[in-house]
Amino acid sequence: MRVAQINAICGSGSTGNICIGISKALSQEGIENRIFYTSGKSDYPLGVKYASDKYIKLQALKSRIFGKYGFNSRGATKRLIKHLEAFKPDIIQLHNLHSHNVHLGMLFDYIRKNNIKTFWTFHDCWAFTGYCPHYAMAGCEKWKTKCEKCPQRSSYSWFFDKSNWLYEKKKALVKDLDLTITGPSDWVVNQAKKSFLGECTAITIKNGINLDIFKPTESNFREKYGLENKKIVLGVAFGWGERKGLDVFLELAKRLPSNYQIVLVGTSDSIDKMLPENIISIHRTANQKELAEIYTASDVFANPTREETFGLVNIEALACGTPVVTFNAGGSPECVDENCGSVVEIDDVDSLEREIVRICQDKPFTREECVKRARDYNKKDKFKEYVSLYKSKN
């Protein structure tokens, strides 16, 4: 069995690390595999880059101008197909295809012509919409029947609304295809089942984390920031904004008593300009161990996300023994049970505030229960689930 993974990146970011994790699990089983990618650099020996960063930027510009998001990059796709023809995969594992890394029509025609078993992991909802990776904040459900007059079109195309054209093109991709859909949450899998992909086999394979790194890790974090007598409310995101609930933290900063300290990780200079003095901003950590130290030092992890496929940061917090309170958004609540945290409705800041205070004062959740919950998300086990799935279909 030979397995080819196709993704925008290799070895960086969440999807790039997932690709390498699957690759290593395959190699341990003696299964030949490759990762074909287009953006950034990677020293992973089984990674094959088939387009330049300059080329991808040009394709992104074309998508912005003409609106045909996912149906450019013909030259890169020709090179990809040549690599695939040389490698002769029995299985193709698709990941992120909306970073201008493939022409969907050309790739799927190749897959169909060669009758290759295909798995597509939905890290968001882009595969079954015209343009949108997420649509909850726009309040749009057109994707269930027919995308048109996209309310978020301006975020993807400057001039033309090709949402209906793209929707129909994507719908035609899966015709006569041996396709299995996987998703990191029950939520995204169920969303796919409500779309034109409803007849496809769809399976949940949760994302995992490195439990050797994310575990209770003592440090001098509290002393470093003078927080020895404070209740630390932590938020971690990459791409802070309304979608990640930045405005909610700004409101909490006004409401919480003076013995509470909000700490945000993953910020930037531009975000700092929006933050009040009583929020500690940490742009990035030196490594994951330092992040684990911050999780461990915190009293509660707050995740007021409004659009989320899974919410890996919730698992990281739990693995470090810190309880979670999150909005009921997408797949974010799925890791939270009655022993490790709370779920409140989206935009219910009053309930979020009450739960933060309850968790910090009453301490209803123990470190041991939080860590126990996180054990269900060992990334090594999750990567093996992919390998088992491939074997069952081969």
The pLDDT tens digits for 123-156 are 999 999 999 999 999 999 999 999 999 999 999 9
Q: What is the SS3 assignment for 350?
A: helix
Q: Token pair for residue 328?
A: 């009921």
Looking at the fold, whether 29 and 178 belong to one and the same domain comes out as: yes
Beta bridge partners of 203: 182
What is the average pLDDT across 193-204? Answer: 95
Residue 67 pLDDT exceeds 80: yes
Residue 394 pLDDT exceeds 80: no
pLDDT, position 176 = 87
Tell whether 348 is covered by a domain: yes
Looking at the fold, whether 177 and 29 belong to one and the same domain comes out as: yes
pLDDT, position 12 = 86
Looking at the fold, whether 258 and 355 belong to one and the same domain comes out as: yes
What is the average pLDDT across 368-379? Answer: 97
* pLDDT tens by residue, 30-45: 999 999 999 999 999 9
Domain containing 45 — which CATH number?
3.40.50.2000
What is the average pLDDT across 298-321? Answer: 97
- pLDDT band, very low/low/confident/very high, at 187 (cuts 50, 70, 90): very high
Tell whether 299 is covered by a domain: yes
pLDDT, position 393 = 83
Residue type, 303: N
Are 42 and 16 in contact, with CB atoms under 8 Å apart?
A: yes
Residue 312 pLDDT exceeds 80: yes
Tell whether 356 is covered by a domain: yes
pTM of the predicted model, to two decimals? Answer: 0.94
What average pLDDT is seen over the chain? 96
Share of the chain above pLDDT 70, in %: 100
* Rounded-to-10 torsion of CA 300, 304, 305, 310: 30
Give the C-alpha distances (Å, rounded to integers) separating 13 from 269, 276, 325: 21, 29, 24
Determine how many CB atoms are found less than 10 A away from the CB of residue 131.
26
Residue 343 pLDDT exceeds 80: yes
Are 46 and 3 in contact, with CB atoms under 8 Å apart?
A: no
Looking at the fold, whether 385 and 356 belong to one and the same domain comes out as: no
Tell whether 270 is covered by a domain: yes
What is the average pLDDT across 99-103? Answer: 95
Tell whether 213 is covered by a domain: no
Beta bridge partners of 280: 263
Give the C-alpha distances (Å, rounded to integers) separating 117 from 1, 312, 342, 351: 11, 28, 40, 47
Nearest CA-CA partner of 39 in 110, 86, 106, 97: 97
Residue 190 pLDDT exceeds 90: yes
What is the average pLDDT across 79-93? Answer: 98
Q: What are phi and psi of 153, to 5 degrees?
A: -55, -40
Looking at the fold, whether 34 and 147 belong to one and the same domain comes out as: yes
Number of domains in the chain: 2
What is the average pLDDT across 237-263? Answer: 96
Tell whether 225 is covered by a domain: yes
pLDDT, position 148 = 95
From CA 394, how far away is CA 385, in angstroms rounded?
14
Looking at the fold, whether 162 and 112 belong to one and the same domain comes out as: yes
Looking at the fold, whether 383 and 365 belong to one and the same domain comes out as: no
- pLDDT band, very low/low/confident/very high, at 109 (cuts 50, 70, 90): very high
Looking at the fold, whether 253 and 330 belong to one and the same domain comes out as: yes
Looking at the fold, whether 141 and 253 belong to one and the same domain comes out as: no
pLDDT, position 244 = 97
Tell whether 215 is covered by a domain: no
Length of the chain: 394
Tell whether 105 is covered by a domain: yes
The domain of 106 spans 2-208+379-393
Looking at the fold, whether 81 and 161 belong to one and the same domain comes out as: yes
Looking at the fold, whether 77 and 17 belong to one and the same domain comes out as: yes
Looking at the fold, whether 291 and 362 belong to one and the same domain comes out as: yes
Residue 320 pLDDT exceeds 80: yes
Q: Token pair for residue 30?
A: 């003696």
